[in-house]
Amino acid sequence: MNQLNSENQNLSRINRNRKNIRKRFWPRIIIACIAVFVLGSGFLYGTNKGLQIRKMLVGSVLSTQHARYVKYMGFLLPQSEINKLKKAFYHPPTFQTAVASVSTDSSAPKLDVHVDTINTANYTAKILVISDPTTVHLVQSKLSGKGQPLSELITENEGIAGINGGGFADQGGTGSGGKATGIVISQGNVLAAPRENRNTPKLVGGFLKNGQFITGKYSVNQLLNLGVTDAVSFGPQLIVNGVNRVTPAINEAWGWAPRTAIGQAKDGKIIMIITDGRFYWNKTHRGASMSDMVQMFEKYQVKNAIAMDGGGSTTMIFKDTLQLKPATDTAVGMRYLPNAWVVIPH
C-alpha cells in the first residue's frame, strides 16, 4: 500500500511538473514570437536596410503583370514612396549609345557560342556568349495573335541558341504572347510600331548591320536611318557607353525577379544573361535585381546592355536544351513569346 501511495505521489508530481512546463513553455513561445515580430518590424521599419527591403518588395510586384496589387501594399510604404518607385519604373532617364564601329575578333576561324554559369544564394544565372554579333537576330512568332515557345522560334529560324525578347499585351493574363508592344524590327522589316506614328521614340535595344549593339530612345524612322536591322522595345537600360545606368531608385522599382538581358562587350561579343527567381524552381532563389545584372555584365566588360522581358518570360535555350526552368506553367514548359533573340549562323 505504501508503495502504491508512493507511485501515485510520483505520478502526481510528474503531471504537475508537465503542467508547469506547459504553463512556462507556451508563454515563452508567444513572447518569443512577439519579440521576433517586434524586432523584425524594428528592422524593417526602423533601419535604412529595412526600408530598402520594403522598396524592393514593392518593386518586385510593380514589375510584374500584377502591378495593380501595389495599391494594397501601403502597409510597407507610404503612397509618396510608392509614387517615387512608379516614377523610376515608368519614366527612368534614358541615354543614347555612341554609334561607332565595333571591333570583333576577325582571327576567330568559326562562330563560338558557349554558356557560363554563376551560382549565388539568391539566384542562378546562365550567360550565353556569342563571338560573332552579326549572327544575332530578332525573330517573331509566325502565328496570328499568339506567340510561340522559344524552342519553336529557334528551330523555325535554323538557330542554335536564343533568349526571349520584348514584352507583349497580355489580355486576360493568359500568357498568349500574341501582341508585341513598342517597336519590333526583324532583319530590316518593321513588324510593330507605336500607335502614334513611326516618329514616336521608344526605348529599344538593337543591332546595326555591322553588328554593333545600341540602346536608347529612338523612333522607327531614326532606327532605320541609323541602319538598325533588328530591334525590340523593353528596359530598363543597364549599361550605356560603359557607364552603369541603374540608380538605386531604378533598382528598387524593379525589385527581384527572374531576369533576361542582352549586351555587347568591348571586343564585340554578345552577352545574353538569364536568371531564375520567384522561388519557382529553386525554393531559396528570390531572383536577381537590376544591379545584380549590371555586376554580371561588368565581369564580361560589357559596354552597352538593356533588360528584356523577365519573370515568366525568362527563357534561354542552347543546343536544344533549356538552361533554366522558366517560372511559368504551360503545356510546353515555357511561355509563348511574341519574339526572341536567336543566334543564326551564317
pLDDT in tens, 312-339: 999 999 999 999 999 998 889 999 999 9
Q: Which of 47, 80, 113 is the last residue of a domain?
A: 80
Number of separate domains in the chain? 2
Asked if residue 210 and residue 297 are part of one domain, the reply reads yes
Asked if residue 162 and residue 70 are part of one domain, the reply reads no
pLDDT at position 195 is 75
Distance of alpha carbon 100 from alpha carbon 103, whole angstroms: 10
Asked if residue 110 and residue 31 are part of one domain, the reply reads no
Structural domain of residue 25, as residue ranges?
2-80
Asked if residue 178 and residue 45 are part of one domain, the reply reads no
Asked if residue 73 and residue 220 are part of one domain, the reply reads no
Write the single-letter amino acid at 80: S
- Work out the average pLDDT over 114-122: 98
pLDDT in tens, 20-50: 444 444 455 455 545 545 567 788 888 999 9
C-alpha cell of 29? 513561445
Task: For residue 87, tell me if it sits in a domain.
Answer: no
> Residue 219 — φ and ψ, nearest 5°?
-90, 170
Task: For residue 19, tell me if it sits in a domain.
Answer: yes
pLDDT at position 34 is 54
Asked if residue 226 and residue 292 are part of one domain, the reply reads yes
Task: For residue 282, tell me if it sits in a domain.
Answer: yes
Of all residues in the chain, the percent with pLDDT exceeding 70 is 84
pLDDT band at 173 (very low <50, low <70, confident <90, very high): low
pLDDT band at 345 (very low <50, low <70, confident <90, very high): very high
pLDDT at position 65 is 83
Q: Measured between alpha carbons, how far is residue 132 from residues 114, 166, 209, 224 in Å?
A: 12, 22, 12, 22
Helix-helix angle 2-46:48-62, to 10 degrees: 80
Which of 102-111, 252-261, 275-284 is predicted most confidently?
252-261
Q: Which of 27, 57, 80 is the last residue of a domain?
A: 80
What's the whole-model pTM score? 0.86
Asked if residue 196 and residue 263 are part of one domain, the reply reads yes
Task: For residue 86, tell me if it sits in a domain.
Answer: no
Task: For residue 85, tell me if it sits in a domain.
Answer: no
- Tell which wins on pLDDT, 66 or 201: 201
pLDDT at position 31 is 59
